[in-house]
Structure 1
Amino acid sequence: MSAAFDSLPLAPAPFERGPNAARWPNRMAALGPAFGTALAAEPLPDPHWVARNDALAAELGWPADWHDGSALAVLSGNATWPGMSPFASVYSGHQFGVWAGQLGDGRALLLGEIESAAGPMEIQLKGSGLTPYSRMGDGRAVLRSSIREYLCSEAMHGLGIPSTRALALTGSQLPVRRERWETAAVVTRMAPSFLRFGHFEHFAHTARDLASLQRLVDFSLANYFPDCLGAAQPAAAMLSEVARRTAELIAQWQAVGFCHGVMNTDNMSLLGLTIDYGPFGFLDGFDPGHVCNHSDHQGRYAYARQPGVAWWNLQALATALLPQLGADEDAASEAALEAIEPYRSALSAALSARMRAKFGLATEQPDDATLIDDLLRLMAAERTDYTILFRHLSGFSTAPDHAQQPVRDLFIDRPAFDAWAGRYAERLRTEQSDDAERAVRMNSANPKFVLRNHLAQSAIEAAEAGDFDEIGRLMKVLARPYDEQATAPAAYAAFPPPGADQIEVSCSS
């Protein structure tokens, strides 16, 4: 083991036995020193468990008692399991549309990879202390932001949206200064890869290291996009696949009303995963201009702007990959634009399909977009609750002269809704839609439960007072967001309480 890890003790892992014993390869670190720094985590004083995702551990094939013994120390950054070689990667990126230069894993460490039923998964600590890429930061994460990431990672997975996952959350009384003094925490998160658009931007622009850029492209193709290797231009084929995955991801975000809040290029996953949960939020009242990030003073990452920002970010990635697309600059630029152009059509198709599913439309007809947009305009005018409206819409009846409660009660302008409802009922009748069958389909597309800010805040406040049970209760419900769950607390699916819109979430969250 490298001398970089001498300060951390080795701990026996509870699953280092049998045919599924972990080996912890670290392919990212194996790329070489240009790609980051091998170093140990900064130990977290007197750590304690805040939350554990036993269901995810079971998916990894770990035993039920995986969290006994050394797991708390390892997942707090106080020890390593045999074979682990912690590594902080370097990347660059555009932040709020401005080139920020070198960034990197300023408070994260990749411990290594473990085999799972879904293939190799990277295990990473977030909040594990200073790295060479911390810049002016302290390398720590606070309990508040860590709870939000832990919950939302799994909430997105429950919604069927590609995301990094959360395996565990540990805490400590170590004081950390943000807007106020808070306590430290470490999230253990996992993904097939944490590669970001910014990794490629780093070697193309900051380091100007085309040999390392080539190596990273070859690595990505071999490990994550092997189907692109046979293309005439493998890098262009990979770029097209990234554009397609990004389009599908953004369509899913828009359909459930999810706002990422900080779509910088360094927060965009090469694999089309939702990554880096900071100032995120789910829409309460429908507002296309909603900005969930208190630090986003220009509204760059407003809900309705997310599709355009993703396109901007894809152009930044395409620019970074120009050296891989040919020596002729004009030809390379043309190839890059051609490679990402499918994003537009893929996004349009994916979002249209998801919105038709939300409205229970089994077929596609020319006026569907107008019908959908007209209801969204009514909702925007009155800030109608996005999640509740669509969940209630599943109870819509095509019977003539039906009053359409409780959907109608969500609107102040009842005549405007009634006029729309008449058109919607007629549209459903054209495809002989069965109300009961449609309701089942719509409920599978329209969640009853999402991680609203006030629900996360309640769990945070309880945890800060020493009660971690609310985290577990929320996790259990958010794992099945489309189910009725009659035993779930009614407040989880209710309108947000007064003052919920005053909860501020910033980049320090």
Structure 2
Amino acid sequence: MELQSSRFESLGAAFYTRLGPQPLADPYWVGCSPAAVADLGLPAAWPHSAAHLAQASGNALAPGASPLASVYSGHQFGVWAGQLGDGRALLLGERAGPEALWEVQLKGSGLTPYSRMGDGRAVLRSSIREFLCSEAMHALGVPSTRALCITGSPTAVRRERIETAAVVTRLAPSFIRFGHFEHFSRRGLHAELRALTEFVIAHHYPDCAAWPQPAQRTAALLAAVTRRTAELLAQWQALGFCHGVMNTDNMSILGLTIDYGPFQFMDGFDPQHICNHSDDGGRYAWAQQPRIALWNLYCLAQALLPLLDDLEQARAALQPFESHFAGALQQRLNAKLGLSELRPDDAQLSDDLLRLLADERADFTWFWRCLSDGVADYAHSARVADLGPARAQLQQSDAFDAWARRWRERLRSEAAHTPEQARALMRRSNPRLVLRNHLAQAAIEAAEQRQFEPLQRLQAALAQPYDDLPDCDDLAAAAPDWAAQIVLSCSS
């Protein structure tokens, strides 16, 4: 894989440290994403080369690679943590694919000056989770960093227990985070802060460059990031996705889902669900995620204040978040309900259903998919029995039946939208398959024994999350009871 120096490198030595990856003993292939291979313009046979295995493991540099570790800072669990940085990742360079320019990064490639108390390594368990979820989110249509491949090694790494090492090759248009801006602002390095801001505008938000004054361009950037972040959070919420560690250093300036750690697609729906065992106070519970995203945007705005005219300019850029998020979420909830138009009472309809689901901890993904399958028959017949699999998940059948009658009337009010069209919309909006914790766990346990078929089967299914794939009923089924016992933490 031939690379070129990253544009990020042009920002100068204050932004990174040059160093190479640390070799990984006895590496072996664990998995590779055919979609990511194609997006990079690589041949399909790329993961069948010993030379490429060495490059993906950090044992050799790809032609043109110029590796570096980036410095940034951030707030962790709401507390200023000071300098952070790429403690176990190296940006190798960039590669132009058929449709986009990608930064290529190794995660788990050894110690860097920013490792703090870490060892610079990643373990197979967490690497598989990131690899699978990055590509699953992409298939779901959610903006995300990507994962090209994983390589493993028998090298021992200590987390809560002794595990084995792995390296993920990650891709993104940029890995710049809110924390990059915080780092230079907090240190009073305003020239570097301005250079970073203008760099992001030039390469990733060109529409913001139309403003003549630097403060106007900065405010336009903050407003654009606000919109992208609001849209991302609407997608997370509509899928029942919990990130788990929404620190400012884990927030992408491009509105991407980044840094998959203790994430989870909820099984039983609980708005206060906490997927991260390290999150004692529930700061990053599912229902809190939009509020935390706005809090993080305020941190970004604070960092950008030296480049703005005044505080009011920052406030104006952030002000649309709540309305933009609410509108984007309602649009997605309407699609999940088969509704093609937005009307004033729709929020009440969807909120009432979510309350019913929360009261009974109904399986979030399974319920919505079952509702999709029954909508056409129900819309024609008015028999709630036609919603049987969805209705069976709720003990409050009378309450659900009353809600379903309201929903049917709302569906029938869209004269230009047939029940069959509503079903098609719902099936495009309610995935049959998401990366549930127990599915990831089964793939991990097999991979730890060098058995990769379960991972490959799951990966292939996750690439088509909205389709009724044959022989995948076990992957699409509601979670088993034991799944609730899986514990995830910041080391996951």
TM-score by length of 1: 0.93
Partner of 1:448: 432
Contact 1:107 1:140 in 2 (8 A): yes
Contact 2:384 2:401 in 1 (8 A): no
Whether 1:400 and 2:382 are equivalent positions in the alignment is: yes
Contact 1:129 1:138 in 2 (8 A): yes
Partner of 2:258: 275
Structure with bigger helix share is: 2
Once residues 219 and 401 of structure 1 are traced to their aligned partners in structure 2, the CA distance between those partners, rounded to angstroms, is: 58
Q: How does 1:277-426 map to 2 (within 5 A)?
A: 277-326=260-309, 332-394=310-372, 395-396=374-375, 397-398=378-379, 399-403=381-385, 404-426=387-409
Residue-by-residue CA offset, 1:296-327 (whole Å, 9 max, x unaligned)? 0000000000000000000000000001113x
1:444 aligns to what SS in structure 2?
helix
Once residues 420 and 198 of structure 2 are traced to their aligned partners in structure 1, the CA distance between those partners, rounded to angstroms, is: 51
Residue-by-residue CA offset, 1:432-490 (whole Å, 9 max, x unaligned)? 452222111100000000000000000011111111111111111101101111232x1
Whether 1:26 and 2:3 are equivalent positions in the alignment is: no
Residue-by-residue CA offset, 1:345-393 (whole Å, 9 max, x unaligned)? 2111100100000011122222211111111111101001110111111
Partner of 2:82: 101
Counterpart amino acid of 2:470?
A
Give 1:23 deviation, angstroms. Answer: 4.0
Counterpart amino acid of 2:14?
A
Once residues 158 and 349 of structure 1 are traced to their aligned partners in structure 2, the CA distance between those partners, rounded to angstroms, is: 23
Once residues 287 and 72 of structure 2 are traced to their aligned partners in structure 1, the CA distance between those partners, rounded to angstroms, is: 28
Residue-by-residue CA offset, 1:110-166 (whole Å, 9 max, x unaligned)? 000000133210000000000000000000000000000000000000100000000
Partner of 1:16: none
Once residues 204 and 440 of structure 1 are traced to their aligned partners in structure 2, the CA distance between those partners, rounded to angstroms, is: 49
Whether 1:186 and 2:173 are equivalent positions in the alignment is: no
Give 1:258 deviation, angstroms. Answer: 0.5
Once residues 17 and 290 of structure 2 are traced to their aligned partners in structure 1, the CA distance between those partners, rounded to angstroms, is: 34
1:460 to 444, 447, 468: 444
Counterpart amino acid of 2:166?
A
Counterpart amino acid of 2:185?
A
Partner of 2:156: 175
Contact 2:384 2:404 in 1 (8 A): no
Counterpart amino acid of 1:96?
F
Partner of 2:477: 494
1:85 aligns to what SS in structure 2?
coil
Between the two proteins, the alignment pairs up a number of residues equal to: 482
Partner of 1:506: 489
2:132 to 133, 151, 162: 151
Once residues 366 and 203 of structure 1 are traced to their aligned partners in structure 2, the CA distance between those partners, rounded to angstroms, is: 44
Give 1:69 deviation, angstroms. Answer: 3.3
Q: Identity, % of aligned pairs?
A: 59
Once residues 339 and 427 of structure 2 are traced to their aligned partners in structure 1, the CA distance between those partners, rounded to angstroms, is: 13
Counterpart amino acid of 2:457?
R
Partner of 1:6: none
Partner of 2:411: 428
Once residues 170 and 69 of structure 1 are traced to their aligned partners in structure 2, the CA distance between those partners, rounded to angstroms, is: 12
Partner of 2:53: 72
Partner of 2:465: 481
Once residues 40 and 243 of structure 1 are traced to their aligned partners in structure 2, the CA distance between those partners, rounded to angstroms, is: 35
Partner of 1:225: 205
Counterpart amino acid of 1:70?
A
Q: How does 1:123-138 map to 2 (within 5 A)?
A: 123-138=104-119
Once residues 343 and 118 of structure 1 are traced to their aligned partners in structure 2, the CA distance between those partners, rounded to angstroms, is: 30
Once residues 74 and 233 of structure 2 are traced to their aligned partners in structure 1, the CA distance between those partners, rounded to angstroms, is: 20
2:382 aligns to what SS in structure 1?
coil
Partner of 2:16: 36
2:339 aligns to what SS in structure 1?
coil
Counterpart amino acid of 1:75?
A
Counterpart amino acid of 1:346?
H
Contact 2:40 2:102 in 1 (8 A): no
Partner of 1:246: 229
Give 1:422 deviation, angstroms. Answer: 1.4
Give 1:415 deviation, angstroms. Answer: 1.1
Once residues 289 and 485 of structure 1 are traced to their aligned partners in structure 2, the CA distance between those partners, rounded to angstroms, is: 32
Q: CA RMSD in A?
A: 1.1
Once residues 318 and 384 of structure 1 are traced to their aligned partners in structure 2, the CA distance between those partners, rounded to angstroms, is: 38
Give 1:402 deviation, angstroms. Answer: 4.0
Q: How does 1:253-268 map to 2 (within 5 A)?
A: 253-268=236-251
Contact 1:41 1:109 in 2 (8 A): yes
Partner of 1:118: 99
Moved more, 396-405 or 355-364: 396-405
TM-score by length of 2: 0.96
Contact 1:29 1:38 in 2 (8 A): no
Once residues 198 and 418 of structure 1 are traced to their aligned partners in structure 2, the CA distance between those partners, rounded to angstroms, is: 48
